[in-house]
Structure 1
Amino acid sequence: MEHLAQRLLRKLRERHFARIARGVLATPPVRARDDGVILFSMIGTRVVAPYLIAAKSFHAQLGRGRFVILDDGTLTPADRAVLARHLDHPEIRPIAAVSPGDCPRGSCWERLLVLLELRRTHYVIQLDSDTVTVGPVDEVAAAIAAGRSFTLRGDASAELQDAAHFAGDPAAMPPTSHVQALIEAGLHRIDAGLPRPLRYVRGCAGFAGFAPGGRGREVADAFSREARALLGAAKWAEWGSEQVMSNVIVANEPDPLLLPYARYMNYWAERALGPVSLVHFLGTHRYDRGCYPRVARAAIARLAGTD
């Protein structure tokens, strides 16, 4: 009964947030800029309004970039019309057109593979639909100007380290272990044409930047072949493997930036956010304490010029 009550409460909070999020539809449209920066997201029909909050609030602070969207297969003609009106006719790609190659299918891998294609010629920022930008993003602007890739840290303790720091024996770990823990333990065994010593950071793929001309999908294919041989195809295809790949790529870029966690954070039901610039309301605590609705409502007011 307690579990059922929790599910009901979350559903009510989700509906409350959806009503607030629809307010973004009354805010002015964005004027996109074809200036070498792409703001990239994978979305579906259920998150169009939250995505618009994420996209418009970030673009308002960064002041540059155009939008590219990967359609998860559920966007309707009405959704596309809304996106065209608000985001200055973004490029929308169908997920069905993405070939997985040697990488898993699903679990956001198509998103990463399209991103790695786009970065050949553009600086690409992966922006999840459950982020809200609430302040200046000077560190991101500086990273773009310097051609540095960046990532949101998974938590405040995340640091760039040699893969040997995480070394273990995946075969000795319980098979029910999370794929991220298993592959991190085996990173020291993977080559994939990456530099030595291999570096790694426990970052968050929900907000990450990829400088132009860096490693492409050939690294993802090579890494996936070795990871599949190490863990098995089913385990490597589990949710979380794509985030590991994103972390590996960013960590092994020249001079990658780990964004300061005090200003770019994941929300874990904190009582206060502090002087934050961007919040990622990841699913575990997304609707706890009413923070996401409050932050979204304030972002909508700023976009509308009524704050």
Structure 2
Amino acid sequence: MIDRILRKGREALHLRSARAVLETPPIVPTADRVVIFSMIGTRVLLPYLVAVKSLHARLRIGRIAILDDGSLTGGDRAVLACHLGNPEIRPIHDVDTGRCPRGGTWERLLTLLDLRADDYVIQLDSDTVTVGDVPEVRAAIEGNHSFTLIGDPETDGVGALPLPDFVAHRYPQGAPAGHLHIQTAIETCFGDYPDAAGHRYVRGCSGFTGFARGGPSGRPEAEAFSQAGAVLVGADRWTEWGTEQVASSFLLSNEPGMTPLPYSRYLNYWNEAPDPDARFLHFVGTHRYSTAEYRHRSAQEIAKLRA
């Protein structure tokens, strides 16, 4: 109970501090076939502005596109238009998910795959802060190859492996006992995926990914993976939150030249002090407000944007 109260207090302080992002200069979009894309709602408007502005300030390229989760207000849209160069905002209810689940950010992935036909698309979560230069991201954009944030330090340096090799490396003792998180449930079944040895996988995080312009993965590949995944874990479990992240990682892992970002620089915050050379921080929900780190990092970047 006390921990929950403290987290709520840190969240309130963070949102209050983040209001200063409204005093920073607006993004000036560029016409260079690069899109920074996010799915957001009214609750994360201010953190999202910190996320997108802190990244764009390092890249200095790209235009903004948004998928409205259904909660953006007229006032929110006015703020976004003012600060992000009048971005395209698509309503989530207009997204046809085809043979993929509805919800669980599948609409975001499928929209992204549509956009990549003509543009390099960066998927950016609202709970992220870019805190330094991002040369690996710029190199991926310039070379038109995809990238992904990886899920944890255990994956660092391993790269995308054939599915049977991934299972042997990640789960040498087999599937853990008990009820498994959907990501683990899918991954431990990858040995049974059709033509498993002919497909690859890296345990990525869809909070920050880059999809190369005109890349090989589109809606047909996403739907094929969704259908196969539902067979592996059952149709009911396939509707759980988390299947989209596995799908994103699977699609990216099977693209030539895909770069897993080095974890020391691009990482998820697990309530541990980030590496001194950190460039990008993803404040995952588990520990987003465990400390004041998210608020302090956001405030630092807002101050740089205002300078």
Shift of 1:187: 2.1
Aligned position for 2:182: 179
Asked if the contact 1:173/1:182 (under 8 Å) is kept, the reply is: no
Aligned position for 2:165: 165
State the Cα deviation string for residues 22-63 of structure 1 (Å, max 9, x = none). 110011111011210000000000000000000000000011
Asked if the contact 2:132/2:280 (under 8 Å) is kept, the reply is: yes
Shift of 1:273: 3.8
Q: 1:284 aligns to what SS in structure 2?
A: coil
Pairs within 5 Å for 1:58-69: 58-69=55-66
Q: 1:274 aligns to what SS in structure 2?
A: coil
Shift of 1:230: 2.2
CA distance in 2, matches of 1:5, 1:40: 37
Shift of 1:110: 0.6
CA distance in 2, matches of 1:178, 1:270: 22
Query: How many equivalent residue pairs?
Result: 299
Q: 2:126 aligns to what SS in structure 1?
A: coil
Asked if the contact 1:190/1:223 (under 8 Å) is kept, the reply is: no
The answer to which of 220-229 and 264-273 deviates more is 264-273
Shift of 1:154: 0.6
Pairs within 5 Å for 1:115-264: 115-158=112-155, 159=158, 160-167=160-167, 176-191=179-194, 197-214=198-215, 215-264=217-266
Structure 2 residue corresponding to 1:73, chosen from 70, 73, 96: 70
Asked if the contact 1:44/1:73 (under 8 Å) is kept, the reply is: yes
Q: 1:11 aligns to what SS in structure 2?
A: helix
State the Cα deviation string for residues 232-256 of structure 1 (Å, max 9, x = none). 1110111111000010011110011
CA distance in 1, matches of 2:210, 2:257: 13
Asked if the contact 2:163/2:196 (under 8 Å) is kept, the reply is: no
CA distance in 2, matches of 1:195, 1:163: 5
Matched, 1:17 2:11: no
Shift of 1:276: 1.1
CA distance in 1, matches of 2:255, 2:36: 20
Shift of 1:91: 0.3
Q: 2:101 aligns to what SS in structure 1?
A: coil
What TM-score comes out, normalization by structure 1 length? 0.93
Matched, 1:288 2:285: no
Q: Which amino acid is 1:286 matched to? A: R
Shift of 1:134: 1.0
What TM-score comes out, normalization by structure 2 length? 0.93
CA distance in 1, matches of 2:299, 2:47: 11
State the Cα deviation string for residues 208-260 of structure 1 (Å, max 9, x = none). 00001121011111111111122211101111110000100111100110111
Q: Which amino acid is 1:201 matched to? A: V
Asked if the contact 2:162/2:196 (under 8 Å) is kept, the reply is: no
Q: Which amino acid is 1:262 matched to? A: S
CA distance in 1, matches of 2:267, 2:300: 18
Shift of 1:196: 5.2
Shift of 1:289: 2.6
Q: Which amino acid is 1:144 matched to? A: I
Q: Which amino acid is 1:235 matched to? A: R
Q: 2:277 aligns to what SS in structure 1?
A: coil
Q: Which amino acid is 2:304 matched to? A: R
Q: 2:107 aligns to what SS in structure 1?
A: helix
Structure 1 residue corresponding to 2:105, chosen from 59, 83, 108: 108
Q: Which amino acid is 2:297 matched to? A: V
Q: 2:154 aligns to what SS in structure 1?
A: coil
Unaligned 5+ segments in structure 2 are: none
Shift of 1:99: 1.2
